[in-house]
């Protein structure tokens, strides 16, 4: 019996080694990435969704918009046509979470700088303060690349409706009037069909790493 095991010992070792390689190849082939979800309002915490769309289960997309960037240029959905982009909401006078968020967005910009399919979009939530000239000054201070990253201002009600009903970005309710104020740390990943594919805490480095990984996953998914 002992001689039998000795005779087949090398065969067993080789067979085991080959089996491990085959299993590893199959695992990697089947688990290259998990497709990102397409977020609908009904999938998101009710604390983040306006009551008028809270139970919507399909067809949710970012609404059309017309805003003004740091160079005084009108920015619309046409500027993001066939682009993957990351969106957030900030204001230039914020001294708490916004500087961290902007630094992290600048990190994302660095990573996607040479990728023509990826862009960034930051909306000012104090448009009465953040004029195009103010945004330009801020953009220069923060190293914003005008070809990749638009800081936009414009009609407050439009911006706040985008935040609440399109990007599902905030936990508050309001009308976008003079007393309304949005303050959110959320980054949203938007695909080429204007659909939300991910939410990230813009103040956390780990979430930024996850965002960058998800961008790569989204690029590999069929449009």
| pLDDT confidence band for 23 (50 / 70 / 90) | very low
- pLDDT tens, residue by residue, 176-215: 888 788 989 999 999 999 999 999 999 999 999 999 999 9
**Is the domain of 9 the same as that of 65?**
no
**Is the domain of 78 the same as that of 147?**
yes
Residue whose entry in the numeric block shows the structure tokens 């801020």: 138
What is the full DSSP assignment across 113-170? TT-TTEEEEEEES-TTT--HHHHHHHHHHHT--TTTEEEEB--HHHHHHIIIIIS---
List the single range of 20-24, 76-80, 99-103, 168-172 with lowest mean pLDDT: 20-24
**Is the domain of 12 the same as that of 98?**
no
**Is the domain of 137 the same as that of 200?**
yes
What's the rounded Cα separation, in Å, for the pair 129 and 81?
A: 29
**Is the domain of 213 the same as that of 156?**
yes
Q: Which domain holds residue 90?
A: 41-220
- Angle between helices 97-112 and 132-142 in degrees, nearest 10: 70
**Is the domain of 111 the same as that of 9?**
no
Reduced to 3 states (helix: H, G, I; strand: E, B; else coil), residue 17 is helix
**Is the domain of 11 the same as that of 48?**
no
**Is the domain of 122 the same as that of 15?**
no
**Is the domain of 174 the same as that of 216?**
yes
Per-residue confidence (pLDDT) for residue 178, from 0 to 100: 81
Give start and end residues of each alpha helix (H) in the chain.
Answer: 2-30, 97-112, 132-142, 156-161, 205-220
pTM of the model: 0.84
Q: What is the DSSP letter of 38?
A: -
**Is the domain of 97 the same as that of 163?**
yes
**Is the domain of 127 the same as that of 184?**
yes
**Is the domain of 2 the same as that of 101?**
no
What's the rounded Cα separation, in Å, for the pair 161 and 186?
A: 15
What's the rounded Cα separation, in Å, for the pair 167 and 160?
A: 10
Q: Domain total for the chain? A: 2
């Amino acid at each position: 019996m002992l001689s039998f095991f000795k005779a087949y010992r090398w065969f067993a070792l080789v067979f085991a080694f080959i089996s491990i390689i085959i299993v590893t190849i199959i695992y990697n082939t089947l688990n290259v990435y998990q497709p990102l979800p397409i977020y609908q309002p009904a999938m998101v915490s009710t604390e983040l969704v306006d009551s008028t769309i809270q139970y919507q289960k399909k067809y949710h997309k970012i609404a059309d918009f017309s805003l003004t960037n740091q160079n005084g240029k009108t920015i619309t959905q046409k500027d993001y046509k066939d682009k993957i982009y990351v969106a957030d909401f900030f204001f230039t006078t914020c001294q708490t979470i916004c500087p961290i968020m902007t630094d992290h967005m600048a990190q994302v910009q660095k990573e996607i700088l040479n990728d023509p399919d990826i862009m960034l979009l930051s909306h000012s939530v104090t448009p009465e303060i953040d004029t195009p000239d103010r945004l330009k000054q801020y953009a220069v201070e923060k190293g914003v690349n005008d070809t990749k990253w638009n800081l936009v201002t414009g009609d407050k009600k439009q911006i706040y409706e985008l935040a609440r009903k399109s990007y599902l970005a905030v936990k508050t309710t309001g009308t976008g009037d003079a007393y309304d104020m949005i303050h959110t740390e959320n980054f949203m990943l938007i695909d080429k069909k204007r659909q939300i594919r991910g939410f990230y805490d813009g103040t956390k480095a780990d979430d930024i790493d996850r965002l960058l990984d998800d961008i790569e996953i989204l690029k590999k998914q069929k449009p």
